[in-house]
Structure 1
Amino acid sequence: MPNAWLKWAGWCFLISIFMSGFFFRFAPSTLSGSMQQELSLTASTLGIVASMHFWIYTLMQMPAGMFTDSVGIRNAGIIGGGITTIGAFCFGIAPNLVVLLVGSALLGLGLSAVFVALMSYNATWFSSERHSLVMGTTMLLAALGSVIAQTPTAHLLNWLSWREIILFFGAFTLLATACLLVFCKSDPGSKKTSEAKAKKTVHPLQCGNRYVLRNRQVWLLFVCVAATNGTLYAFLGLWAVPLLTEGFSIRPAQAAQYATVTLTIYGIGSVFWGWFADRIGTKKPIIVVTCMLSVVVWACMAFAEWELGWVAMALFVLLGLSGGPVGVIFAATKESVALENVGFAIALVNMGAFLTAALVQSGFGIILDIVANAELEMAPTLQSYQIALVLPLMISSLGVVSSLLLRETGSVDPMLKG
């Protein structure tokens, strides 16, 4: 019983911090209008602010993986949660662009450690037979944070400022981190966890990480998660609501409803794809299908003439469904490496999503400014956004190629066992 309590208490506190991270990741899309007006931000500048989170998160993934494998899951979660809290408060009180960028960077830094800690926690505490489902459930709960960042936050803006909203979730992150520190201790049992293995010696861990870097399967999964989740995070994290408000002249609260539906489907899809992968005992077909679905959605958004209503809602629903297999991709990553290198490998694969998100968010803003200047427009039009949508379309196309080259997982490369 003590171990069971420890297992679920630690998971709940880590997932709470992770949920806050998803809120901070997607909130700029809903808060962009208020932020731009108060701090006089251009589309390019706003893209840089939002992407700073992703740039730091991306750069810190492999260091965070090695850090977690070395100091342990609990310590990594506590330190990551503390840095995330500081970042949230900096972001919420930012008087200028510089402090805003610092806050965004600290959010990315802290959440990189929290992510790896949570993924390693899942790999350590839950059996391989249920790993895809557990990962999917984790992403479903995390997606609740992104859902809150859409329609509920848009309505909260009627009563609270964007700063007050950010600070509230910063306080929530602080509370969850404090609970992790006070109530959760290291596993007292005899269970051989990855963090115990990591502390035996540094050299084998480093050797295993070098093998991970040479693992073709890991790099293919890197591209797959970039194609599905990276493009989705970039779009919903910043540009989805502006596209709908400026392209179709609707209110932010109405536009946020589309993003809310997408993120809800994304969360539900994470559980569904995880359950389905465990049910059929294979992962590659799911990854291939969702990569192809991502290409179809981006192509329709970029080149088809679509309107608000059921057509737009169908596209946003399919977009959320295409991002759902992230848990399946992480489970496939776990099965491709030795247990003591799971943190490092998942961190490396996750880099694909956030490197892509950073590139697309920045690139999207630059393209919009270039088109607006060329056409002497005061604000981007739907056609401007459709030109920018070619960027995620190109990246998702690479994901299809990579998914077809994957081998089915289930056994670890013998070279990675020693």
Structure 2
Amino acid sequence: MSLRADGERANGAPARPESSADRTSPRPTHPAGPAGGGRAWLVWGVGVAVYFLAMFHRNGLGVAALEAQERFGVGPALLAVLPMLQLVVYVALQVPAGLLADRIGPRRSLLMGMAAMAFGVVLFAVAPNAPVAIAGRLFIGLGDALTFLNVIRLAALWFPRSRYALVSALTGVTGGLGQIASVAPLSAALERVGWTPAFLGAGALTVLMTLLVVLVVRDRPAGTPAATGHPRISVAASIMEALRTRGPRVGMAYHAVAMSPYTMLALLWGYPFLVEGMGLGPGTAALLLTVLGAGTLWMSPLLGALAGRWPGIRFPFAAVFAPVLTLGWLLLTLWPGGAPAGVVVAVLAVSATGAVVAPALSFDFARDGMPAHRTGVASGLVNMSGFSVTLIGTVLAGAILETAPEPRGMTDFQLAFLPMTAMMLAATCALLVLVLRRPR
């Protein structure tokens, strides 16, 4: 079956499961597809600036952790609930966010997300107690959930199919920069002007960015017909269509393997693992995580450009990278007495690479075999798969470490990371079956 560049069959009907010939053959281009160009980069640039701001809000609590404990009179255990609840909201809303993107378009979805984030930040800024602060973070999580999928939806609507992997990769890199950029300015603002003015300033910036979305962002290039001519299918049918299609399933499996382990470490357990498990000094541990996170950002655009130019490399790369990463985590968790420092650093470096390059391929896979006007649900499922594994692995690691006696050592962390390793192994097996098995 021949696929058009926008993921639809040539006759406009919904795509059926692809044949074996579709697996590695280059994607054909189609003259009717979006041309890209300067206007496309401007629209995507505003959208990705929204994503940058969302990542700033998502990670800002880490910078304000000590001030939050003092302001709300809570301990570390209750404070840890704030980012975890926000992540739960993010994961739970991925498929609804994808459905919303398909039904009302990325522009209106982004505006809804920006409104929720702005309200959440302001509420968090003036919160007199922990329950109100939690409500604020939940609204931030709601807005965050509506951001990423709609930015890559803009990429699908404004850029040629051959550019989608690159633009997805650049979107992921921008999010990583947003994580890094949240530290210095928010820390300085908290120190100089205090809690409420600092977060109200972030809320005002969010409102200004909302106005920019209103002025600049459009769902599709001028003259491009909307998808209103396509028959609308039910929510359940949209989800089942994505789950039956090979491309989104490959994207889900790859995202679960590549993105999850290092995200778990960056979210919570990397620093304690390096300090308590490896015996590194606090400064050395922080520097190592920063270098690994920032030093691998360049790999994602490179892989995205290569995948756009030669789409046939995507499946072999995924089929090699996922087992290598999983093997590294098996060594990390099963090495008697703990793996040598060199092996640990190598596994962390490969993990950081996986987290960085995950968007370049995961969301490109999600478009394979899907009608262009229904890719939001597929992207939502892919994003949910990776973050669900991250959330489960993070929570189970915490539960296991909670039972470990003080001081915790390498063996305790090896045991705590076994659930993540098991999920990676299962996802890798699923990925290899999908990539290597040819339909009868």
Deviation of 1:231 (Å): 2.9
Which residue of the partner structure matches residue 248 of structure 2? 218
Task: Name the structure 2 match of 1:366.
Answer: 399
Q: Which amino acid aligns with 1:318?
A: V
Deviations 1:278-326 (A, max 9, x none): 3442211222233223323433443453577x66544432211122132
Cα drift, residue 130 of structure 1 = 1.9
Alignment of 1:158-237 (within 5 A): 159=191, 169-185=202-218, 187=220, 189-192=222-225, 196-198=226-228, 201-203=231-233, 207-237=237-267
Structure 1 stretch displaced more, 59-68 or 242-251: 242-251
1:47 CA displacement = 4.5
Specify whether residues 131 and 18 from structure 1 end up closer, same or farther in structure 2 by C-alpha distance, changes over 3 A only: same
The one-character-per-residue Cα deviations of 1:394-414 (angstroms, maximum 9, x if unpaired) are 121122112212248xxxx9x
1:287 pairs with one of 314, 318, 334: 318
The partner residue of 1:264 within 294, 300, 305 is 294
- Tell me if structure 1 keeps the 8 A contact 2:246–2:369: no
CA distance in 2, matches of 1:227, 1:198: 36
Contact (CA 8 Å) 2:262, 2:348: kept in 1 or not?
A: no
* Paired letter, 2:299: G
Could you tell me which residue of structure 1 aligns to residue 389 of structure 2? 356
Aligned to 2:9: none
**Larger gyration radius, structure 1 or structure 2:** 2
What residue in structure 1 maps to residue 55 of structure 2? 22
Alpha-carbon deviation of 1:208?
Answer: 4.7
Shift in CA distance, 303/265, structure 1 to aligned 2, threshold 3 Å: farther
Which blocks of at least 5 consecutive residues in structure 1 are unaligned?
414-418
Counterpart residue type for residue 388 of structure 1:
A
TM-score (norm 1): 0.81
Tell me which amino acid in the other structure corresponds to 1:298: W
- The corresponding residue for 1:317 is 349
Deviations 1:86-138 (A, max 9, x none): 22334455444423432332222112211221111111111112221121122
2:417 maps to which of 389, 393, 401: 389
What is the CA deviation profile of residues 28-65 of structure 1, one whole-angstrom value per residue up to 9, with x for unaligned ones? 55655665576566665454332212211121111111
Q: Distance in 2 between matches of 1:99 and 1:215?
A: 42
Q: Report the residue type matching 2:351 in the other structure.
A: L
Q: CA deviation at 1:220?
A: 4.0
Equivalent position of 1:111 in the other structure: 144
Residue of 333, 337, 348 corresponding to 1:302: 333
Identity %: 21
1:82 aligned partner: 115
Query: TM-score if structure 2 supplies the norm length?
Result: 0.78
Query: What is the letter of the counterpart of residue 317 of structure 1?
Result: A
Match of 1:129 among 162, 173, 192: 162
Alignment check: 8 A CA contact 1:29 1:239 kept: no
Determine if contact 1:221/1:402 at 8 Å carries over to the other structure: no
8 Å Cα contact 1:236-1:259 kept in structure 2: yes
Q: 1:365 to 1:140 in 2, by over 3 A?
A: same
The number of aligned residues is 397
Corresponding residue of 2:305: 275
CA distance in 1, matches of 2:339, 2:200: 37
Moved more, 224-233 or 346-355: 224-233
Equivalent residues of 1:198, 1:205 under 8 A apart:
no
- Quick one: which of 89, 92, 100 aligns to 1:59? 92
Q: Which is further off, 230-239 or 77-86?
A: 230-239
Q: CA deviation at 1:223?
A: 2.8
**Cα pair 1:274 1:325 within 8 Å, conserved:** no
Cα distance between partner residues in 2 of 1:388 and 1:30: 26
Q: Alpha-carbon deviation of 1:342? A: 0.7
The answer to whether the 8 A contact 1:28-1:237 is kept is no
